Amino acid sequence: MSRMRVLSDAEWELVEPFMPTSDGKRGRRFRDHRTVVEGIIYRYRTGIAWRDLPGEFGPWQTVWKRHRRFAGDGTWDRVLSALLTRADAAEVIDWQVAVDSTIARAHQHATNTTR
């Protein structure tokens, strides 16, 4: 696996059905979804700025805009819920929750109330 190839073919097959099409929309057709999604994953994995994204993923503006569009139209929410449902059905997820009872006090000027 190369440094730029983030998703395996099996992983991409799980995500691909949830990617929207550009059919019926004005402008150019969408660039290859896999390249753009891998660019988004690479950016979050490395913590780099969008502008520093390697050219193998295409123009950084395209990757950023697609990420923003997918976040706004609920694509990422659909992908996450589908993957969680699949993993839960395969009993791969352990649903244990830890609750912490500590209190974090805010400074008096940090509140949004008036006197």
Show pLDDT as tens, one digit a residue, over the chain (115 residues). Answer: 456 668 889 999 999 999 887 665 665 677 788 999 999 999 999 999 999 999 999 899 999 999 999 999 999 999 999 999 999 899 888 878 777 767 666 776 676 666 6
Helices (H), the chain: 9-15, 33-46, 60-73, 75-89
In a domain, 2, yes or no: no
In a domain, 96, yes or no: yes
Closest by Cα among 75, 99, 66 to 18: 75
In a domain, 3, yes or no: no
Give the range of the structural domain holding residue 45, as residue numbers without chain letter.
9-110
Instruction: Give yes or no for a contact between 42 and 57, defined as CB atoms under 8 angstroms apart.
Output: yes
Residues 6+ apart with CB under 8 A from 69: 75
What does the alpha-carbon distance between residue 101 and residue 110 come to, in Å, rounded to a whole number?
Answer: 21
Structural domains of the chain, count: 1
